[in-house]
Every structure is written in C-alpha cells, then in structure tokens.
Amino acid sequence: MTLTAPAVFETVALEPEFRPAELVSREWLTSGYVRLRVAGEALHSFHAPGADDHVRLFFAPADGPVPSTPEEWRELPSREYTPMNADADAGWVEFDFVIHGDGPGSTWAATAPLGARLAVAGPRRSSQVTGEPDAWFLAGDETAVPAICRFLRTRRPGTSARVILEVDEANELVPIPTEAGTYVTILVRGTDSLVAALAALGERDRPQGSVLGFVGAEAEIVPAARALLLDRWGLPAEAVITKGYWRR
C-alpha cells in the first residue's frame, strides 16, 4: 500500500568546476578510517546537492611543484570521493577515506602533511530526491558511509531508515547517525557478508509505502542489490541507486 506519492531519484547535470585547495585538518575516526578537511578560496563556490554526489580529487606530491593549470593537475594521481560535509561560506569541504594498501588516495590521506595541495573537480551530475519517501533502505561498505550519512541527514525527521553496513573489524565504530527511526546493522567482514545479508531479505522485509533504496560497495554487490530492490521488493528503477564503488 502506497502511503504517499512515490519518491524517486532525479539526475541533474551540474556545471563542473576545478578547484585548488589544501589540507587543513585530519581526524582519525577509527584506525582505518580518516576524515580530512580541505580548504581554499575556490571552495567558496563548492556545491554538491545530492547525497551520493562524486568529485574527483587530484593529489599533488608534498615534495614537488604545485600544478598551475587544470591540465597539469589531471596528470597527477586521482580518485573519486563523496563529500561528507561542506561549508561554502567558509570555503571548506570534508572527505572520508578508507585506509587500505598503497592506493594514491589512501596513502595521501594517511600521510600528507597539513598544507599539502590537491584539487577538487566536479561534481558533474547530482542524483537528487524528488518527493518524500515513507522509508529508506541504505546499505554498503566503508566507501558508502559518506553517502549513507548524507541520506540520513537529509531525510524528513522520523522517516524510517534501515541501514546495513559491512566493515573491517577495525572500522566497526565508524559513526552512523542514529536518530529515531534509524535501524543499523553492522556486519564484520570475514565473519558476515553484505551479499548474504541482502540475499536473506525477502518480500515480507520490504517497508511499506514509497521506499528509496541505495546500495554502494565492492562491485560484486550490484547483482545482489538489484535482485533485492528491483525483483523481490518491486521498487521502480528510478527509486533505486546501486553502485560498485571499487573492484576487488
């Protein structure tokens, strides 16, 4: 039974910009998960309205020259991230990083000195919510935490949200908003599996009314997420976002 008009995601094109910035603070939230704040004059115009919007970060080496043009920046290592927090008036944006192996973003996030330079490009498009859902279903791994947190912050107060998150043991305490109506399940990787958790959910687990579903994790999650949200729960395609943020 639909309680309100169905809510959907609507993709909106944005005018992409290229913004130089510098690292101004680092906060370790767990031993494997860190939040960086970057700031700069160009970030006064930063705008990422959608909860899972992506920008590309370009990382300058601490001991090298700072690029002076977008073309020079694009020759440097880069990765895509979802902004966690931003204040355009103050000119800063915060990004969360999962620390793993020797990836350019992970290494830079863990070791770059304060004052290190980077550039923020985008977002080029934004998935914005039209309408008010009766419930949210949000799932993923550490890479989806910024998007999940932003979805939770922007929902109508009191709207039910079920969150399932698979993390390494070191990241079990990654912070997730827990306002009234939020039900969070944390799965420890190696002991539990997000793929198995999604596969175990059936038709009777579907929330009533208009539901928005988001799942973002390693690429193998996409078939399991689509089988649940589109096939077993029968959500319309425009009410679902499934993303493979990385490949094993």
| Predicted local distance difference test score (pLDDT) of residue 1 | 43
| Predicted local distance difference test score (pLDDT) of residue 5 | 65
Instruction: Answer yes or no: do 24 and 135 share one domain.
Output: no
Instruction: Answer yes or no: do 148 and 113 share one domain.
Output: no
- Look up the domain containing 239 and give its range: 126-246
Domain annotation covers residue 190:
yes
Final residue belonging to a domain, choices 74, 91, 123: 123
Final residue belonging to a domain, choices 123, 144, 176: 123
Distance of CA 114 to CAs 121, 196, 243, Å?
20, 41, 32
Instruction: Answer yes or no: do 111 and 176 share one domain.
Output: no
Domain annotation covers residue 3:
no
Instruction: Answer yes or no: do 193 and 118 share one domain.
Output: no
Instruction: Answer yes or no: do 141 and 63 share one domain.
Output: no
On whether the CB atoms of residues 215 and 185 are closer than 8 A, the answer is no
Final residue belonging to a domain, choices 123, 142, 173: 123
| Predicted local distance difference test score (pLDDT) of residue 4 | 52
Instruction: Answer yes or no: do 73 and 152 share one domain.
Output: no
Domain annotation covers residue 134:
yes
Residue 138's domain is classified under what CATH number? 3.40.50.80
Question: How many C-beta neighbours within 10 Å does residue 130 have?
Answer: 11
Provide the domain count of the chain: 2
10-residue mean pLDDT profile of the chain (248 residues): values are 72 93 97 97 95 96 88 96 97 96 90 96 94 96 96 93 96 90 95 96 96 96 97 97 89
Instruction: Answer yes or no: do 71 and 151 share one domain.
Output: no
Instruction: Answer yes or no: do 160 and 79 share one domain.
Output: no
